[in-house]
Chain A
Amino acid sequence: MAYRSSLNIIAVAGQATWKRARPILIRDTVLLPALGFIGVVLLWWIVATFFTELMPTPMQALGENLDYILHPFYRRGPGDLGIGWLLLSSIRRVLIGFLLGALVAIPVGFLIGMSRKALMILNPLVQIFKPVSPLAWLPVALAIFNLADPSAIFVIFITSLWPTIINTALGVSSVSQDYLDVARVLEMPRWRQITKVIWPASLPYIFTGLRISLGIAWLVIVAVEMLTGGVGIGFFVWDEWSRLNLSSVFLAIFVIGLTGLVLDYAVGKVQEWVTHRPARSIKV
């Protein structure tokens, strides 16, 4: 009897919490975010209604984009590909450039973080190149490769370097003295101190760098593709604009934003999996 009544209490308590929690959950995760989107669409609608020359209304845009949305992966001849294919080729460029960049930036950042001499040698270079718009490297890349695709990848590679180098160096140089003391008390040789303590301790910083790098790379690829042309979401934006097809530009903007969000989320998940600690959100 006592057993059953205690079960009842748990059940009732559970229901009560659920009743209290669910409306708040729905409000915070669905209603309020939806309100923001509805507001923007409304504003767009009002502007488009009064200035019909300027832009299509949301309904018009949806109608004109319906083919792209329903068939993202069509192939109707050379150069006439669905928006899904365009997106994939842009993501491919970004990922190749980003991974090559990480391959160079993480060791370089490590070196800067570990050695004062390396810091003195490399830091001025990093500080000079960091504020340069990665697009300025495009002519250099074109001169080297003579081809659009490798040039775009090269620009992404350059883009990915600086945030990862800086954050890796910061992570390595700010490993807690407590952890290093543990390593010293255990008489770890220097090399194992690096692999067993310094590397895992600075991983959260390295991932912060990687996430910032990937975010900027995704920003830059759109501009690069506008300049180089070829298959890609950036060129799509420019191409649709020159056909005065603003509806597709709106669609592309939304898709680019969504993809950027997914990429960042993916790196965050990898970080949680690798470091066993929740990934912090990053503000750029």
Chain B
Amino acid sequence: MAQFTRRSTNVPKRSSSSDFLVIENLSKSYPAADGSEFVVLKDINLAIAADEYISVIGHSGCGKSTLLKIVAGLEPATSGSVQLEGRKIRKPGAERMVVFQHYSLLPWLTVRENVRLAVDEVLIHASASDRKRIVNEHLAMVNLTEAANKYPDELSGGMKQRVGIARALAVRPKMLLMDEPFGALDALTRGRLQQQVLDIWEHHRHAVMMITHDVDEALYMSDRIVMMTNGPNATIGEILEVPFPHPDRASLRELPEYQELRNQSMNFLDHYFD
């Protein structure tokens, strides 16, 4: 139980660009059956820049999905605060779009209608023809123009998640929250979709917070990796800077630094393996 002491204080120094999303002293607890408090997250402090790709990594049950839900506004924090551009987050909002682990497509709508629903709800000031164009653009972006009139049941997992990504991006969010977006996909599909998401991100450059338990995925995609200690009382154990420049990450795995960073994060996770 000595593991709960934080090994380093890695709250980055405040620059104006990293004040986009600020998580301060965030804790989350549930009342347990015996009346005591069950603390899931404790003292989380993190600042994310407006164009930064952040991965949150940790063992299952460490509360990383809870952290994402709190940032999304889907769950309230017990104490502490999350601020987006200086405004406190109290409820869900389309400027922080979520890509769900299990896609969460509405099965009674076609691919196009799923994206269309989001666009219609959020971009209320756009004209009908603009909305239509935005929907088509985003379907094309994830190569789903052909499948636009299919229902989710007719799609593979990778295609479903591409719809989820198109839906999230189509409403022009300031930040993308992804909850193990590739977790339910097979290895081949996962690799291709990771690359696709990275390509899209390089053109948009909004903030991303991605939950994952895959070290390679985190290293391949993100600027910084937030490593969580085990729950209960989970907190940020270490933050790893990934110093590789952002387009052109395909040949990353051959670099010696890559192996070094990989070992470092694997050691961290091994340390917390029970």
A-side residues, CB < 8 A to B, are: 176, 178-179, 181-182, 184-188, 192, 196-197, 200-201, 203, 275-277
Q: Which of B72, B108, B118 contacts A276 (CB under 8 A)?
A: B108
Q: How far is the CA of A276 from the CA of B94 in the complex (A)?
A: 28
Is the Cβ of A277 less than 8 Å from the Cβ of B153? yes
Q: Report if A185-B108 is in contact (Cβ < 8 Å); known contacts: A178-B102, A277-B153.
A: no
Instruction: List, sorted by A's number, 13 A–B pairs whose CB atoms are closer than 8 Å.
Output: A176-B104, A178-B102, A179-B106, A182-B100, A182-B106, A184-B74, A185-B97, A186-B94, A186-B121, A187-B92, A187-B121, A187-B122, A200-B108
Q: Which residues of A contact B73 (CB under 8 A)?
A: 184-185
Q: Among the interface residues A182, A184, A200, A276, which one has the most CB atoms of the partner chain B within 10 A?
A: A182
Give the nearest-CB partner of B168 in chain A.
Answer: A185
Q: Which residues of B contact A186 (CB under 8 A)?
A: 94, 117-118, 121-122, 171
For the complex, count residues of B whose C-beta is within 8 A of A: 24
Is the Cβ of B108 less than 8 Å from the Cβ of A184? no
State whether the Cβ of B38 lies closer than 8 Å to any Cβ in chain A. Answer: no
Q: How far is the CA of A201 from the CA of B106 in the complex (A)?
A: 8
Q: Which residues of B contact A200 (CB under 8 A)?
A: 106, 108-109
Is the Cβ of A187 less than 8 Å from the Cβ of B117? no
1/0 per residue, CB under 8 A from A, across B62-75: the answer is 00000000001110
Q: Which residues of B contact A277 (CB under 8 A)?
A: 107-108, 151, 153
Q: Which residues of A contact B109 (CB under 8 A)?
A: 200
Q: Which residues of B contact A176 (CB under 8 A)?
A: 104
State whether the Cβ of B93 lies closer than 8 Å to any Cβ in chain A. Answer: yes
Is the Cβ of B121 less than 8 Å from the Cβ of A181? no
Q: Which of A184, A185, A197 contacts B106 (CB under 8 A)?
A: A197
Q: How far is the CA of A197 from the CA of B117 in the complex (A)?
A: 10
State whether the Cβ of B98 lies closer than 8 Å to any Cβ in chain A. Answer: yes
Q: Which residues of A contact B153 (CB under 8 A)?
A: 277
Give the nearest-CB partner of B106 in chain A.
Answer: A179
Q: Which residues of A contact B94 (CB under 8 A)?
A: 185-187
Q: Which of B97, B107, B117 contacts A196 (CB under 8 A)?
A: B117
Q: How far is the CA of A178 from the CA of B164 in the complex (A)?
A: 12
Q: How far is the CA of A276 from the CA of B121 in the complex (A)?
A: 23
Q: How far is the CA of A182 from the CA of B171 in the complex (A)?
A: 13
Q: How far is the CA of A119 from the CA of B115 in the complex (A)?
A: 35
Q: Which residues of B contact A203 (CB under 8 A)?
A: 108
CB of A204 to closest CB in B, whole Å: 9
Is the Cβ of A184 less than 8 Å from the Cβ of B92? yes
Give the nearest-CB partner of B72 in chain A.
Answer: A185
Is the Cβ of B121 less than 8 Å from the Cβ of A192? yes
Q: Which B84-102 residues have a C-beta within 8 angstroms of A? A: 91-94, 96-98, 100, 102
